[in-house]
């Protein structure tokens, strides 16, 4: 069967000018977009608060539940895997695992729940011309607060195991946290747009995240991979980037290297650019698909 042109009743006029692909234009457009989001910050803030309230109300333990979950996970993992993958060194393995899980959980949840952001907000989208990326941002904000709790617990446990952890280490992770937040927002935005067009996106993301989880040094050490000559697997894994930016400084007490920071900034800028490009490209059509 040959290629068939879709029937066209009319000539499609060119898309609105102004939103071209030229980079400076995209930049100024991004600033406009962010200003618009800032204008509706009260709306965003109120909904994030609602999400958190509902999330913690559903469990009897409230916020405690979000603490209990990683702790229970870690106890199990520490017992099972510390001898298997961690060489039996619990004081080294547990902080590694806990912080890794907090970082991973944030990135995973932002992608998987963020991708439903536009579909779930259809009623708002049909009512008000708000910038589209405010809806993924709602998800990412809620997730960030949730994960921040997990991270605080992880850091607390780290201090218990390693009382000599330098306070400076917590300053070193700030760039990683900021970059991680922006990357997660960008990823959630991109996936949310894709999910409007392809309904199995969230399913594919869940499958994909399983693969990435085992590809990333979360329950094992990076060393386990490099020893086997699989350094390349770490180099191509963006999750590893954020593990290095956030976990490594706490565990080692060393600031991230300039090179690593540069890669982090570059990757985040790339993701932000992709997200802005996707939004600029699809924002005028996505409503007809919802």
Partner 1 sequence: MATIDLDDVHLTFTVHQQKRVSLKEYIVRGLFRRSSAMAVHALAGLNLTVRDGDRLGIIGHNGAGKSTLLKLIAGIYPPTGGERTIQGSICSLFDISLGFEPEASGWDNITYRAYLQGESPASLKGKIKAIAEFTELGDFLNLPVRHYSAGMLMRLAFSIATAIEPEILLVDEVLAVGDLAFQKKAQARMKELMSSARIMVLVAHDLGTILNMCNRVIWMEHGVARMDGPAEQVVNAYITSVTGQPPIAAAA
Return d(Cα 2, Cα 32) in angstroms, integer.
44
**Would you tell me which residues interact with partner 1 (CB under 8 A)?**
1, 3-10, 12-16, 39-40, 42-43, 46-47, 50, 54, 123-130, 196-201, 204, 283-285, 287-289
**CB-wise, 42 or 228, nearer to partner 1?**
42
**CB-wise, 157 or 190, nearer to partner 1?**
190
Q: Give the nearest distance from C-beta 121 to partner 1 in angstroms.
A: 8
Q: Give the residue carrying structure tokens 């393995």.
A: 93
Q: Give the nearest distance from C-beta 77 to partner 1 in angstroms.
A: 33
Longest CA–CA separation in the chain, Å:
72
> Integer distance in angstroms from the first to the last C-alpha of the chain?
31
Q: Give the nearest distance from C-beta 84 to partner 1 in angstroms.
A: 36
**CB-wise, 125 or 190, nearer to partner 1?**
125
Single out the residue of 190, 47, 203 nearest to residue 114, CA to CA.
Answer: 190
Q: Is 229 left (phi over 0), alpha (psi -120 to 50) or beta?
A: left
Return d(Cα 160, Cα 133) in angstroms, integer.
40
**CB-wise, 7 or 163, nearer to partner 1?**
7
**CB-wise, 159 or 204, nearer to partner 1?**
204
**CB-wise, 199 or 229, nearer to partner 1?**
199
Q: Give the nearest distance from C-beta 53 to partner 1 in angstroms.
A: 9
Single out the residue of 18, 40, 39 nearest to residue 29, CA to CA.
Answer: 18
**CB-wise, 170 or 197, nearer to partner 1?**
197
Q: Give the nearest distance from C-beta 114 to partner 1 in angstroms.
A: 17
Which pair of tokens denotes residue 26? 């995209």
Q: Give the nearest distance from C-beta 21 to partner 1 in angstroms.
A: 18
Q: Give the nearest distance from C-beta 146 to partner 1 in angstroms.
A: 17
Q: Give the nearest distance from C-beta 51 to partner 1 in angstroms.
A: 9
**CB-wise, 64 or 285, nearer to partner 1?**
285
User: φ, ψ for residue 170 (rounded to 5)?
Assistant: -75, -20
Beta strand residue intervals within 78-157, DSSP E: none
Q: Which long-range contacts (CB under 8 A, 24 or more apart) does 156-161 make?
A: 157/74, 157/94, 157/95, 157/98, 158/94, 158/95, 158/98, 158/99, 158/250, 158/251, 161/90, 161/91, 161/94, 161/95
Which pair of tokens denotes residue 191? 């996936």
Per-residue buried b or exposed e for 112-144, using 16+ beta carbons within 10 Å of the residue's own CB: bbbbbbbbebeeebeeeebbbbbbbbbbbbbbb
Return d(Cα 86, Cα 84) in angstroms, integer.
6
């Amino acid at each position: 069967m040959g290629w068939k042109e879709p029937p066209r009743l009319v000539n499609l006029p060119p898309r609105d000018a102004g939103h071209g692909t030229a980079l400076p234009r995209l930049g100024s457009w991004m600033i406009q977009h962010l200003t618009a989001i800032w204008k509706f910050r009260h709306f965003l803030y109120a909904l994030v608060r609602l999400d958190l309230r509902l999330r913690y109300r559903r469990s009897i333990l409230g916020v405690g539940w979000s603490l209990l979950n990683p702790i229970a996970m870690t106890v199990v993992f520490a017992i099972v895997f510390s001898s298997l993958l961690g060489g039996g060194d619990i004081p080294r393995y547990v902080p590694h695992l806990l912080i890794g899980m907090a970082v991973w959980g944030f990135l995973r949840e932002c992608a998987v729940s963020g991708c439903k952001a536009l579909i779930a907000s259809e009623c708002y989208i049909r009512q008000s011309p708000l910038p589209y990326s405010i809806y993924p941002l709602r998800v990412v904000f809620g997730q960030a607060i949730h994960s921040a709790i997990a991270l605080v617990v992880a850091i607390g446990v780290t201090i218990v195991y390693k009382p000599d952890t330098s306070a400076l280490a917590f300053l070193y992770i700030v760039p990683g946290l900021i970059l991680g937040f922006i990357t997660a927002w960008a990823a959630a935005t991109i996936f949310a747009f894709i999910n409007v067009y392809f309904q199995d996106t969230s399913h594919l993301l869940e499958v994909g995240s399983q693969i990435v989880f085992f590809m990333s040094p979360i329950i094992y050490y990076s060393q386990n991979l490099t020893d086997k000559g699989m350094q390349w697997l770490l180099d191509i894994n963006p999750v590893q980037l954020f593990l290095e930016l956030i976990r490594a400084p706490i565990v080692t007490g060393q600031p991230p290297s300039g090179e690593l920071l540069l890669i982090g900034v570059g990757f985040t800028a790339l993701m932000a650019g992709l997200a802005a490009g996707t939004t600029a490209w699809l924002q005028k059509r996505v409503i007809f698909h919802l």
